Copies of this chain bind each other. A is one copy, B any other.
Amino acid sequence: MLEPVGSLLWRSLRVYQVYGANTDVGKTVFTTILCKAANRIWRHGETSFLKPISTGPQDEADDRHIQTFAPGVNHETLVQYELAASPHIAALRSNKPIPSDETLLAKIHRAASHRAARGPGWLFVETAGGVHSPGPSGTTQADLYMPLRLPVVLIGDAKLGGISQTISAFESLKIRGYDVEAVLLFRDQLYKNHLYLADYFRGQHNIPVRSMSEPPKRDENPRTDQESMSQYYDATSRDNTASEILERLDRRHHERIARLESMSREAVNKIWYPFTQQKHLSPDRITVIDSARGDHFQTLAPPPPPPPRQASSPQHPPLLQPSFDGSASWWTQGLGHGNPSLALAAAYAAGRYGHVMFAEAVHEPALALAEALLRGARSGRLARAFFSDNGSTGAEVALKMGLRAARVRYGWAAGERIGVLGLRGGYHGDTIGAMDCAEPGTFNEKVEWYEGKGFWFDYPTVRCAGGRWAVCVPDELKGQLGDGRDHASLSDVFDVEGRERRGEGTEYERYIVNRLERLQAEGQKFGSLIVEPVVLGAGGMVLVDPLFQRTLVNVVRRSPHLFGSTVANEPVHESDWTGLPIIFDEVFTGIFRLGRFTASSFLGVDPDISVHAKLLTGGLVPLCATLASESIFRAFESDDKSDALLHGHSYTAHAVGCQVALQSLREMKRMDEGGDWGWAKRGWQGASSSGQRRDEMKSVVCSDGIADEASLVWSVWSPEFVEWISRQTALVDGVWALGSVLAIEMKSPDGGGYKSNAARDLQAALLRGDGTESSRRWNVHSRVLGNVLYTMASQKTTEDGVKRIEGLLKKAFAESAHVV
């Protein structure tokens, strides 16, 4: 299991990557000039040359070239193939095992770390061929080397057509988040590409372009050939151009570090943080993120502790370390940070449209996304998409839809006081309307205009404790619902139809009906039921008994007499809403966060309105879609234009968001259908042991050999691990895992809730991270909700990645146990 690598940044070692706009543009010549010049000017440090992959006979290797023409420069080649071809072909034909991308990155990281340990100076890392020339595994270099995030010297193309090659190569690097710090190319007097490119890069990108004379023509006599090359290198490496470029690279290196090291101070003074009490927020508590790739941020490492006596720890610790994004960047992350296909989708829409007017207009990404969402929801009800910018606004849209539909159906007056039905601890966003859907609590009670409007049911929850999956009934409800019960597996808990048939929902139903009758008797009016299906997120990562939510929906639907004073318009279509409009807030729980496209599928009921955001764009940009049934939509049809749904943000259905969402949905669907999560599902299939009613469940064997996949309840976190956590009863009250989410409820001496500090120790242990060698340190950046610590994988996290976090969590528990 390879550890994630950190980006290559040390204080006194300037590391630059040399990319070529094409093959044969002079990468090695320019690198030799830079090495030679650096070696001359920075006498107090060592200049080094690293070639990760070299192809062709070793005699002709670039390594050898450096050795010959830049004596005194340290040089190393990591992987050498004899065949003079692209590395992906040379590797295939080499009869050697092909190194994976991770292995190659680890090798480079190790080589650079060794170099850094030797002290200050320069390290030039030379790539092979063009920016997108494939590496040994077939991944193109521009993609392969992204996590190292080395600043780039781009060698431009001086030949005919070279202007185009240089700009395109630059753009391929740019859209992968590379910073190109200089463009160098030969001076060709015929094409004069250097003149055009100098203007272009200065004007468009503020990047300097410098040119140098071409090396002498090859001489057939090896001795005179080498002599003339030596003269060329002597001259060019003493040229002002070379020293000017090196000075710039040196300055940019130090500026980058100085900025990184000042950012947390600046942030504390200039940023007003969301959901953060800043009184005690000191700069050292701010995570400085230099970049992110896949599941990992690259964060500024804390200053190392003073080394113990006789320690072998390096004098030059790395400044950046990989941090697993354990909150999935506030629950948004799905397809990995820095995903080039999402970046390209964003840029495509930006290039094709920018943002274009959507009211009474239509464009392809918006329409295609609406179609993909409606198709994906597989709902007998949802038929239309309304776009807004985030979950909170989408919840307000849903609310406006639901309340109006109810008011029109039941003939209430415009000013009448109407509330919502919900669940205690539910949360739908931070704007006032969304807040008003939630009962009073820590998140809102101090907000001036907040006024909870509705009634919120208490409910049984699900968790694994002491090795057993149980439905737990809160004390207040035990009189009505009994004591709850254990289940053989999480899948059994989610077998809602089976449980319903076995009568487990009867008490729920009685409790709900009683309560609704009482509310009606009190004269309260309700206009919608709004719930987060399956999991209440911000309310503390609470796994609600799915049978309770299913029962609640079904009771509301068949009880119009409990809501409407008169039932003027009896529904005629099966897809018409009855009782109250049912709003499912799937902002957190939908789009594969819990392993399925919709969370409603766990309950076996379709909402009349659903809200989708966060993972909708794979975790890249804000976008929300509120889906609704025709029955809801028709409530707004009128000859009066002010009866329309008067809501619309200026960036509604912005093309960039829609295109990225479309690309994300395609990718996640492909992963789902292609069996990408088979490794995780297989573990949970074994854990789904009860077998009861298995014969009645839809049985399919999928491409990855998993039976009953459609009804399988699974998580990337292994059942063994969840059980292990659940047995740490001295520290843990309960735990659950579903899809990519793991939530651990810690025992809380201070009573739990948002203000609790019980999970902080565990969080701190994750932040300390792992890696005994300081050069290989990595950690986990996580968030807590009071006494609940959660971690969340992306939809791309590998089995290895999950195992690594599980291991660190076990270690953290061991440390916390000591503390307790």
Contact = CB atoms under 8 A, between A and B. Distances in A.
A541 interface: no
Interface stretch (A35-43, A165-173, A234-242, A693-701): A165-173
B642 A442 contact: yes
Given A130-B161, A267-B362, A448-B418, A355 B338 contact: no
Contacts of A149: 352
B350 A620 contact: yes
A572 interface: no
A392 B408 CA distance: 27
B445 A449 contact: no
The residue in A138, A636, A755 that gathers the most chain B C-beta atoms within 10 A of its C-beta is A636
A713 to B, nearest CB: 25
Nearest to A432: B433
Contacts of A349: 177
Contact of A163 (B134, B164, B390, B783): B134
B271 A362 contact: yes
A399 interface: yes
Contacts of A264: 362
Nearest to A349: B177
B350 A168 contact: no
Given A160-B23, A390-B393, A432-B433, A621 B276 contact: no
The 8 A-B residue pairs with the shortest CB-CB distance, nearest first, are: A274-B648, A177-B352, A130-B164, A432-B433, A23-B161, A343-B350, A177-B351, A337-B354
Given A390-B651, A637-B278, A346 B656 contact: yes
Given A192-B89, A384-B270, A340 B351 contact: yes
A133 B146 contact: no
A407 B446 CA distance: 11
A393 B391 contact: no
A289 B356 contact: yes
B163 A86 contact: yes
A291 B129 CA distance: 36
A582 B280 CA distance: 27
Nearest to A753: B642
Contact of A131 (B168, B192, B447): B168
20 contacts: A129-B163, A130-B168, A263-B364, A272-B626, A277-B638, A278-B636, A285-B360, A289-B362, A329-B355, A338-B352, A339-B350, A355-B621, A396-B430, A414-B446, A433-B433, A620-B654, A621-B621, A621-B654, A622-B622, A622-B657
B400 A448 contact: yes
Interface in A630-659: 633, 636-652, 654, 656-657
A279 interface: yes
A354 B338 contact: yes
Contact of A346 (B164, B336, B347, B371): B347
A140 B169 contact: no
Interface string A234-271: 00000000000000000000000001000110110011
A175 B431 contact: no
Contacts of A620: 350, 354-355, 654, 656
A725 B798 CA distance: 65
A140 B164 CA distance: 8
Interface string A144-188: 001001000000000011011101110110111110000000000
Contacts of A362: 263-264, 266-267, 271, 286-289
Contacts of A647: 274-275, 430
A327 B355 CA distance: 12
A232 interface: no
Contacts of A22: 22, 161, 164-165
Interface residues of A, number: 171
B384 A272 contact: yes
B288 A191 contact: no
A643 B357 CA distance: 39
Contact of A353 (B89, B338, B418): B338
B399 A270 contact: no
A460 interface: no
Contact of A389 (B333, B622, B754, B781): B622
A196 interface: yes
Given A174-B351, A270-B371, A273-B358, 15 more contacts: A172-B172, A177-B351, A259-B364, A263-B364, A272-B384, A272-B628, A278-B644, A279-B637, A333-B354, A340-B351, A354-B619, A355-B620, A392-B393, A396-B431, A400-B448
Contacts of A348: 174-175, 177
A358 B657 contact: no
Interface in A393-446: 393, 396, 399-400, 403-404, 407, 414, 418, 429-434, 436, 442-446
A13 interface: no
Contacts of A637: 277-279
Interface in A282-338: 285-292, 297, 325, 327, 329-333, 336-338
Contacts of A271: 362, 366-367, 370, 384-386
